Amino acid sequence: MKVLVAVKRVVDYNVKVRVKADNSGVDLANVKMSMNPFCEIAVEEAVRLKEKGVATEIVVVSIGPTTAQEQLRTALALGADRAILVESAEDLTSLAVAKLLKAVVDKEQPQLVILGKQAIDSDNNQTGQMLAALTGYGQGTFASKVEVSGDKVAVTREIDGGAQTVSLSLPAIVTTDLRLNEPRYASLPNIMKAKKKPLEVLTPEALGVSTASTNKTVKVEAPAARSAGIKVKSVAELVEKLKNEAKVI
Amino acid sequence: MTILVIAEHDGKVLAPATLNTVAAAAKIGGDINVLVAGQGIGAVAEAAAKIAGVAKVLVADNAAYAHQLPENVAPLVAELGKGYSHILAAATSNGKNILPRVAAQLDVDQISEIVSVVSADTFTRPIYAGNAIATVQSTAPVKVITVRATGFDPVAAEGGSAAVEAVAAVHDAGTSSFVGEELAKSDRPELTAAKIVVSGGRGMQNGDNFKHLYALADKLGAAVGASRAAVDAGFVPNDMQVGQTGKIVAPQLYIAVGISGAIQHLAGMKDSKVIVAINKDEEAPIFQVADYGLVADLFEAVPELEKLV
């Protein structure tokens, strides 16, 4: 079966971002960008499905600026067969991305679509669910285990109280949680080979999708800073402070 | 304005996060209705009707809504929600699972995990693991929003007397089914609602050593959390993880033991009122947010702390 994986180019998870002085957003100039960690897990899962003989083709798709080709090449180096970039310089909302992905799903007809559960920049946790709504497919969100058998996929999900398993009819949408797998690294030969794999570039216009949004970011501010604390010398001093100064125990 | 709040529950008990969500609805202003969807949910509906400030409780009791599968519940919420100005749900695993599906069905953008209400159409929410706060305005005819519980003080669970109304609509997409679940058992307070949280990290070294934290937690009436490192190392189960991708907590007191304080962990606890860090590494980033820091070996400090509190 064909598996479609969506990946996003985001600021590297180790970077401590700074808010711009004019409060228009965070400063991403000259900041290291990477593939969103949850998307790496999604790519890894697709590659494992292929290694098991379940998946026959892996198509990786990203929606974003021209530079997102770097993340697509990374996915190709990890084992994806071909890539699609839907190029848009705009800052798109999750719904706009879900609509664009729906157009790609219509075109490619995958049996399984794997996304990360959330992007570490917007922290929205929406796109997979929205794509599931638009396609009418079942959704297995926050997946820690994915097992395809016949025309069904069993997804074990991380929920607040523990774990839940649901069975979905294929085609279906899965979003990955941290514990689904440990993503591999791309080897140098594979990085070289990935440069030759096909990468198709599309536009929202070509897909006939409007990216208009009902949300507008008015401003972005730095969070309130915590006032500096103190170091205590002993456990006894700590208990005394907690009882008498902070009054929390 | 009329606001629809989706009740958070496990089929038997109304979850406290519902009270925080109703509090957010009250800040927006207008009539508040609560939807309880599930199977055999009479007790939950009764509890919802008692919440202060709730005008009406809608009850969708049907086998299709058991385990609140989003494929079936989202169309119900989207259908009912059309007449409302806002649809709110707690940013729990359930709320996050269902609500974006509702938003897409209504063809509107969602606003995730709001922490404050600026006005009826403008809200604030953390982005980049809590390193920036975005103010977002929505022009959607129905505003679809998940609420971070720690951003709002809960309304009273008693004192209301809402009318209860049955909803007949049944949506069964037939694309998904519930197979089973494994819930972690704990007698301690629920992590996201606890007044005191004691968390352990990689410094705990193994799962057995968490007994020191359990002993301290039991003495304080606290919940026990963990960093991703501790969860990934298999010391404790996933649902104890505090952080950007785990639970978000904001207790009165957060005690971080053997936790270095990575950005992703801080995202889940830096709104705690008082933060205590116990770590033997003086340079650990956790000390930058801790109100009280103790540079010490946790295996000596934690048992001593347990004795003294």
Question: Whole-prediction pTM value?
Answer: 0.96
A165 closest CB neighbour out of B69, B112, B181: B181
Q: Please tell me the predicted confidence (pLDDT) of residue A125.
A: 98
What is the torsion angle, in degrees rounded to the nearest 10, for the CA atoms of residue A183, residue A184, residue A188 and residue A192? -50
Distance (Å) from the C-alpha of residue A160 to the closest C-alpha of chain B? 6
End-to-end Cα spacing for chain B = 49
Q: Cβ separation of A168 and B176 shorter than 8 Å?
A: yes
Burial of A62 (0-12, 13-18, 19+ CB in 10 A): buried
Query: For residue A151, what is the DSSP state?
Result: T
Q: What is the pLDDT of residues B218-246, one digit of tens each?
A: 999 999 999 999 999 999 999 999 999 99
Q: Cβ separation of B136 and A216 shorter than 8 Å?
A: yes
Q: What is the pLDDT of residues A159-182, one digit of tens each?
A: 998 999 999 999 999 999 999 999
d(CA B124, CA A223): 11
Q: Cβ separation of B111 and A215 shorter than 8 Å?
A: yes
Least Cα distance to B290 among B241, B258, B251, B256 occurs for B256
What sign does the CA torsion over A88, B143, B8, B42 have?
negative
Q: Which amino acid is at A118?
A: Q
Cβ-Cβ contacts under 8 Å for A197 (sequence gap 6 or more): A76, A80, A81, A82, A83
Q: Cβ separation of A136 and B133 shorter than 8 Å?
A: no
Token representation of residue B189: 């307070």
**Do the Cβ atoms of B32 and B25 come closer than 8 Å?**
yes
Give one DSSP letter per residue of A40-70, joined into a string: HHHHHHHHHHHHTTS-SEEEEEEEE-GGGHH
Q: Which residues of A touch B9 (CB under 8 A)?
A: none
Peptide bond into A171 cis (omega under 30): yes
| ipTM, two decimals | 0.95
Across chain B, where does the E strand assignment appear? 2-6, 31-38, 56-61, 86-90, 110-114, 116-119, 122-127, 132-138, 143-147, 163-166, 176-183, 196-200, 223-226, 253-257, 274-279, 292-295
d(CA B164, CA B180): 30
Token representation of residue B163: 């009318």
A139 closest CB neighbour out of B71, B136, B308: B71
Q: What is the pLDDT of residues B250-309, one digit of tens each?
A: 999 999 999 999 999 999 999 999 999 999 999 999 999 999 999 999 999 999 999 999
d(CA B187, CA A89): 51
Q: How confident is the model at residue B162 (pLDDT cuts 50, 70, 90)?
A: very high
CB atoms within 10 A of CB B187: 5
B100 closest CB neighbour out of A94, A161, A220: A94
d(CA A6, CA A63): 8
Tell me the CA distances in angstroms from B269 to A228, B130, B204, B245, B304, one per residue in order: 16, 10, 19, 12, 24
What is the torsion angle, in degrees rounded to the nearest 10, for the CA atoms of residue B207, residue B213, residue B214 and residue B219? 170
Q: Please tell me the predicted confidence (pLDDT) of residue B184.
A: 86
Distance (Å) from the C-alpha of residue B219 to the closest C-alpha of chain A? 10
Closest residue, chain B, to A136 (C-alpha): B71
Asked if residue B186 has pLDDT above 90, the reply is no
CB atoms within 10 A of CB A224: 9
Q: Is B245 annotated as a binding residue?
A: yes
Q: Is B262 annotated as a binding residue?
A: yes
Q: Is B265 annotated as a binding residue?
A: yes
Query: Which residue out of B111, B114, B131, B195 would a mutagenesis test of the A interface target, given it has the greatest number of A Cβ atoms within 10 Å?
Result: B131
The contacts found for B268-277 with CB under 8 angstroms, 24 or more apart, are B268/B241, B268/B242, B268/B243, B268/B244, B269/B197, B269/B199, B269/B225, B269/B242, B269/B243, B270/A223, B270/A226, B270/B130, B271/B150, B272/B197, B273/A246, B273/A248, B274/A242, B274/A246, B274/A248, B275/A226, B275/A229, B276/A238, B276/A242
Separation of CA A38 from chain center: 5
d(CA A42, CA B212): 37
> Could you tell me if B148 lies within 8 Å of chain A, comparing CB atoms?
no
> Could you tell me if B234 lies within 8 Å of chain A, comparing CB atoms?
no
Separation of CA A151 from chain center: 25
Token representation of residue B178: 């519930």
Q: Which residues of A touch B110 (CB under 8 A)?
A: 94-95, 124, 126, 130
CB atoms within 10 A of CB A245: 12
pLDDT in tens, chain A (249 residues): 999 999 999 999 999 999 999 999 999 999 999 999 999 999 999 999 999 999 999 999 999 999 999 999 999 999 999 999 999 998 899 999 999 999 999 999 999 999 999 999 999 999 999 999 999 999 999 999 999 999 999 999 999 989 999 999 999 999 999 999 999 999 999 999 999 999 999 999 999 999 999 999 999 999 998 888 999 999 999 999 999 999 888
d(CA A247, CA B194): 16
A123 closest CB neighbour out of B109, B129, B192: B129
Q: Which amino acid is at B226?
A: A
Q: Please tell me the predicted confidence (pLDDT) of residue B185.
A: 85
* Residue linked to tokens 């996201």: B192
Closest residue, chain B, to A177 (C-alpha): B245
**Do the Cβ atoms of B151 and B111 come closer than 8 Å?**
no
Contact map slice: B 1-40 vs A, CB within 8 A: 10
Alpha helices (runs of H) in chain B, residue ranges in sequence order: 17-28, 42-49, 70-81, 93-105, 210-220, 228-232, 263-266, 298-308
Domains of chain B by start residue, with CATH:
2-166 (3.40.50.620), 196-308 (3.40.50.1220)
Domains of chain A by start residue, with CATH:
2-245 (3.40.50.620)
